[in-house]
């Protein structure tokens, strides 16, 4: 399910961050911990953000051709996590 979220891009310790509204797939809803969305100005890119109580910080931008390989890598990592 997609949610409308505000994502911030921090450029440095003294600069005010840029922010923009996006429609994102979010883990645990719009106040969750992880979001994936299309880049707002370049349709060939997608972005990832981390979240905490509705504050979202963009942490990655990738070309869409990397999406399947990133998912495969995350799946491989998933299989290394011990089941408790």
Q: Is residue 24 part of a domain?
A: yes
Q: Is residue 13 part of a domain?
A: yes
Its pTM surpasses 0.75: yes
Q: Is residue 83 part of a domain?
A: no
Residue with tokens 């880049």: 39
Q: Is residue 10 part of a domain?
A: yes
DSSP secondary structure code for residue 10 in this structure = -
CB atoms within 10 A of CB 22: 20
Q: Is residue 84 part of a domain?
A: no
**Number of domains within the chain:** 1
- For residue 17, what are the domain limits? 2-78
CA dist., res. 44 & res. 63, Å (int) = 6
**pLDDT by residue (tens digit) across 29-48?**
999 999 999 999 999 999 99
- Phi/psi of residue 68, each to 5°? -65, -40
Q: Is residue 37 part of a domain?
A: yes
Reported as a pLDDT band with limits 50, 70 and 90, residue 14 is low
Which pLDDT score is estimated for 17? 78
């Amino acid at each position: 399910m997609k949610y409308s979220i505000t994502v911030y891009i921090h450029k440095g310790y003294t600069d005010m961050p840029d922010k923009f509204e996006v429609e994102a797939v979010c883990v645990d809803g719009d106040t969750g911990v992880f979001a994936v969305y299309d880049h707002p100005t370049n349709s060939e890119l997608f972005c990832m953000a981390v979240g905490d109580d509705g504050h979202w910080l963009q942490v990655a931008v990738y070309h869409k051709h990397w999406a399947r390989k990133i998912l495969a890598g995350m799946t491989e990592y998933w299989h290394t996590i011990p089941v408790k």
